[in-house]
A and B are shown apart, each in its own frame.
Chain A
Amino acid sequence: MKVMLVDDSKTMRTIQRNILMQLGFKEIEEACDGLDALSKVGPFAPELLLVDWNMPNMDGITFVKTYRAQGGRSPILMVTTEAEKTRVVEAIRAGVNNYVVKPFTPDSLSQRINETLTRAKAA
């Protein structure tokens, strides 16, 4: 399965990549902001996206709205420090399928990834 990591922090992308590889995901693409991600979703065609909220150039919410408007249907897991309920609601309305608040443990991120994929299969 193809997974795209969208986060402006290389450290965070590396942590997420390591967790995904432990879960058996091998095809992983990285993007450093929403604009970079938009340029890569076409050719890479991810089947799951992990997206940060606060990023330069284009933030995660704008990316999600644009990706959905362009017909992108893959499940999106938002991984962010934005923990307020109002932000979670805003993200879900924008088209996010599931939500993880930083800081996270490898177990909690793994659980949300599996949950997101299970829900997407059932839909």
Chain B
Amino acid sequence: MRRSLRVRIGYALRAGMALLAARWRFMDAQQITSFVVSTHQVFSTMLSLTVTAGKPYTCCAVPKFENEVSGIIGMSGDMQGMVVLSFPTSTAKNVIRAFTGMDMEPLSPDFADAVGELVNMISGAAKAKFEGKNVSISCPSVVIGKGHKVAQPSDAVCITIPFDCPAGQFSVEIAIKSAKAAANPTSQHPSSAKAA
């Protein structure tokens, strides 16, 4: 990774994630950084796009853009929860064009397939960096619809990492926790997608 990118990632993340990790014990800063690095890897390797990570924020904050296309992956094992890759439609179309070399409409099955493969690669590459953790990922699901909201598990802290790239803005939402933290939940709710 180029030094300038490392500096940009470090600047954006240190301030936000150290605070978030200190306040909530479920995720550590290294795990969040793993998603930033894996997102950069996937976009640069498969799409030839350079991404810039912004300062992460909790998912309860007002989002910086409306989610219209979301790829969702579940995590299980030593870490449990979910990862959501979300785009506005315009960004998603640009990203999928860079990924597949073709223009696709969001209602095309191939469009959803491509979004699912992106979140699959990002999650897989990130979990490989969870040292000493045995984590499995699910097959991806994709939600397409204006203004939808992907509800996260209520007992996990959700952090949004905003990204910018030449294709537009997008985000990676992470709501994961260690299995130990999950062993004594007060309540567990499956995630669901809702129209706003």
Chain A residues proximal to chain B, CB less than 8 Å: 8-12, 14-15, 54-56, 80-84, 86, 101-105
Contacts and interface: CB of A to CB of B under 8 A. Distances in A.
A103 B134 contact: no
B137 A103 contact: no
Given A86-B134, A103-B45, A11 B124 contact: no
Contact of B139 (A15, A54, A86, A103): A54
Main secondary structure of the interface of A (DSSP, over half): loop
A84 B117 contact: no
B144 to A, nearest CB: 15
A54 B41 contact: no
Contact of B128 (A15, A56, A83): A83
B117 A104 contact: no
Main secondary structure of the interface of B (DSSP, over half): helix
Interface of B: 41-42, 45-46, 99-100, 109-110, 113-114, 116-117, 120-121, 123-125, 127-128, 134, 137-139
Contact of B124 (A15, A81, A104): A81
A123 B42 CA distance: 34
Given A11-B117, A12-B117, A103-B46, 19 more contacts: A8-B139, A9-B117, A11-B113, A14-B100, A15-B100, A54-B120, A81-B120, A81-B123, A81-B137, A82-B128, A84-B127, A84-B128, A86-B134, A102-B124, A102-B125, A103-B41, A103-B42, A103-B125, A105-B45
Most chain-A Cβ atoms within 10 A of its Cβ — which of B45, B116, B139?
B139
Contacts of B42: 103
Contacts of A10: 109-110, 113
B138 to A, nearest CB: 8
Nearest to A56: B139
Given A54-B137, A105-B45, A83 B113 contact: no
Contacts of B137: 54, 81
B116 A9 contact: yes
Given A103-B45, A105-B45, A82 B117 contact: no
A11 B99 contact: yes
B51 to A, nearest CB: 13
B124 A82 contact: yes
5 contacts: A9-B114, A9-B117, A83-B124, A84-B128, A103-B46
